Amino acid sequence: DTGVSQDPRHKITKRGQNVTFRCDPISEHNRLYWYRQTLGQGPEFLTYFQNEAQLEKSRLLSDRFSAERPKGSFSTLEIQRTEQGDSAMYLCALRGSYNEQFFGPGTRLTVL
């Protein structure tokens, strides 16, 4: 148990639809990260939060991607007008004492 849950675990959507994923840390963590993993690749950093402040968002893949962490606890990642190239695993992670990241199980997105 890495202390973070993600919902949903799987999402199938049609191209052009909006999707939202949620990440819930079990306990308080200041730093929360979002990564994307495509087939045959390692995770790729998207954005991260220090409490409710989004510290880095230039690596979000396009302006269709946005993330929030309104109360410094759970976080959401939204993709608007999904494209087939958005199909991937979206991973949430919490930061440990040595900057190690503890990953949730991920949300697998399939865009048809």
Partner 1 sequence: GEDVEQSLFLSVREGDSSVINCTYTDSSSTYLYWYKQEPGAGLQLLTYIFSNMDMKQDQRLTVLLNKKDKHLSLRIADTQTGDSAIYFCAESMGNTPLVFGKGTRLSVIA
Binding residues for partner 1, rule CB under 8 A, total: 22
Among 67, 77, 91, 94, binds partner 1 (CB under 8 A): 91
Within 10 Å of residue 61's Cβ, how many Cβ atoms? 14
C-beta closer to partner 1: residue 56 or 78: 56
Closest to 20 in 3D by CA, of 79, 97, 102: 79
Residue 81 Cβ, how far from partner 1 at the closest point, in Å?
26
Contact partners, residue 72, CB within 8 Å, separation at least 6: 30, 49, 51, 52
| Segment interacting with partner 1, rule: CB under 8 A, options 14-22, 60-68, 75-83, 95-103 | 95-103
Q: Is 98 in the site for partner 1 (CB under 8 A)?
A: yes
Q: Is 42 in the site for partner 1 (CB under 8 A)?
A: yes
CA 98, CA 96: separation in Å to the nearest integer? 6
Q: Is 1 in the site for partner 1 (CB under 8 A)?
A: no
Q: Is 44 in the site for partner 1 (CB under 8 A)?
A: yes
Asked if the peptide bond before residue 25 counts as cis, ω within 30 degrees of 0, the response is no
